[in-house]
Amino acid sequence: MRIDGLQYANWSEKIFRQLREGDVDAIHVTIAYHENFRETVLNFEKWNRWFEQYPDLIVKGLTAADIDLARATGRTAVFFGFQNPSPIEDDIDLVEIVHTLGARFMQLTYNNQSLLATGCYEAEDGGLTRMGKQVIREMNRVGLVVDMSHSGDRSTIEAAEYSERPIAITHANPYEWAPALRNKRDNVIRAVTQNGGMLGFSTYPHHLKDKSDCSLTEFCEMIARSAERYGAEYLGIGTDLCQDQPDSVVEWMRVGRWTKEIDYGEGSKSAPGFPPMPDWFADNRDFANIEQGLRATGLSEAEVQGIMGGNWYRFFKDNFGPAPGSAT
């Protein structure tokens, strides 16, 4: 089983076919960065058209059972998520609405402060806001997973402890291995995993040691050491693959509507653009490279299979539905 915990590709029939060539059973795709509710609905509509156009390649994912269906029919199950809480605007009732539409992950922040928590680029992290705590409770109730991939340390730790259900960091790497604002320190990863949450390892070059020059061996050894430290059952892959996106998309991802200036983020101080992917992971057909690399580290076959997809499958199964005993 192969499951990718996060992608934001420029979707096309070519990529859908590459998912099948790579035997990718399920993916979590970003369908909102800065969009408000109505704009996000348009993105749901766009995906509904793709499901209609390519029914032999992709299927909408709502529960883990849809991964079973995808595997049985030779397709890829697509699960939706937001990298910002902007689709719920300032209305807690929209949490249930977006879940009904198909959202299964929502980051409490992108890089900046939100109404819910603090982003990883802010100088001061005030932790969860009053609204943030209320929204987490509502997300727990309906089965919308809390994602803290772009959040600050304090906010992430507080979310892991406050949430009554496990949370996720869908796409990041350990800060100690590759210092970057977006990567996560040891105490942050421990807070998430000790509460049953998941960490998805990113292949995005700005999150890698030596960036685009990171070797497959270095990447897989980092995962193996993380398995020793946090437990292999809490680890997965979240590539953060942005295949075929134009460079202008990076600027939009960082800037949104909040500034008139370019926000350079984690790259150089030149114009934002997508860095080259490492040569061992260019697109979805390369998942076999990661699987082989993990085997070479000495991880057991069960641990390798868990990290490649089994752990995400268990997490999806446990967390995409309403909380036991909750009214929906």
Q: What is the pLDDT of residue 68?
A: 98
Q: Judge whether residue 198 has pLDDT over 60.
A: yes
State residue 163's pLDDT score.
98
Domain-located, residue 304: yes
- Residue 325 domain flag: no
Measured CA to CA, the distance from residue 232 to residue 327 in angstroms comes to 34
The answer to whether position 324 is within a domain reads no
Asked whether residue 230 is assigned to any structural domain, the reply reads yes
pLDDT value for 323: 86
Q: How many residues does the chain have?
A: 328
Structure tokens at 123: 């100088």
Q: What is the pLDDT of residue 266?
A: 61
Q: Tell which residue, 160, 205, 198, 165, has the closest CA to residue 182.
A: 205
Instruction: Judge whether 328 lies within some domain.
Output: no
Full domain range(s) for residue 120: 3-319
Confidence label for 199 from pLDDT (cuts 50, 70 and 90): very high
The predicted pLDDT at position 249 comes to 87
- Structurally, the chain folds into a number of domains equal to 1
Segment 247-271 shows an average pLDDT of: 77
pTM: 0.95
Reported in sequence order, the residue ranges of the chain that DSSP labels E, i.e. its strands, are 3-7, 26-32, 58-60, 76-82, 103-107, 145-147, 168-169, 198-201, 235-237
Longest CA pairwise span in the chain (Å): 52
Q: Is residue 89 part of a domain?
A: yes
User: Is residue 327, in this structure, part of any structural domain at all?
Assistant: no
Q: What CATH number did the domain enclosing 300 receive?
A: 3.20.20.140
What is the pLDDT at residue 175? 98
User: Cα Rg for the chain, rounded, in angstroms?
Assistant: 18
Contact (Cβ atoms closer than 8 angstroms) between residue 171 and residue 199: no
